[in-house]
Amino acid sequence: RYVLCEVVSEDPRCRQCIEDRAVGLAVRDAIGRVHGDYGLACCSISFTVKYLNAYTGTVLLRCRKDSYRLLCSALPFVRQLESRNQRYPCFLNTLHVGGTIRTCQKFLIQYNRRQLLMLLQNCTNEEERRCIQKSVLSCFLTEEQSQSGDEEDDDGTE
C-alpha cells in the first residue's frame, strides 16, 4: 500500500530542511514506540519513503499490504523531524491510502485543486485571483499510453 501524507508545521524552515531519510527514521521510531518490536518488524519489511516534496510537504510512504494499518495508526505519533542536527516540531496528516502510486497521484491532483479553489474564494484582490485561477487551470492529469514495462507499481490491490 501507498500512504500519502503531508508534513504540517508552523515553522516554514521545517519543510525546506526535511529529507526522506529523516521522515523514514521518524516514522520507524513512531511505529516502534506504538507497536513495539513486532510492529516495527512487520512494517520494516518493505517500508520506504517513495516520494518527498520538501516544497509542498508531500510524502508518499510504501509498506506491505498486510501492515499498512500498523503504519497508519503510528503516523499521528510522529511529533518532530530531525534533520542536520535540528529538530522541527511537526506532524504527518494522512491524506490517502492507495494500492498504486497512480491512484495517489490522482488523489493528490484533486486534493490540490480543492485547496486552490478554497484559496480562490478567500482572495482579497484581482491579481491574487488571476494567479490562483491560472494554477487551478494548470491542474490536470494527462492520459498517456503506458508501456507494458511501466506497470511495476500497479499491483492491482486497491
Q: What mean pLDDT is reported for the chain? A: 82
pLDDT for the residue numbered 28: 94
pLDDT for the residue numbered 1: 92
Residue 114 binned pLDDT confidence (cut-offs 50, 70, 90)? confident
pLDDT for the residue numbered 59: 93
Percent of the chain with pLDDT over 70: 87
pLDDT for the residue numbered 143: 47
What is the set of domains in the chain, with CATH numbers? 1-99 (3.30.70.3250), 100-145 (no CATH)
pLDDT for the residue numbered 29: 94
Condensed to tens digits (0 to 9), the pLDDT of residues 145-158 reads 344 444 444 444 44
Mean pLDDT, to the nearest integer, of 55-63? 90
Of residues 55 and 100, more confidently modeled: 100
Indicate if the pLDDT at residue 144 is higher than 60. no
Least confident of 7-21, 66-80, 94-108: 7-21
Of residues 55 and 70, more confidently modeled: 70
pLDDT for the residue numbered 100: 93
Percent of the chain with pLDDT over 90: 42
Which cell goes with 146? 503506458
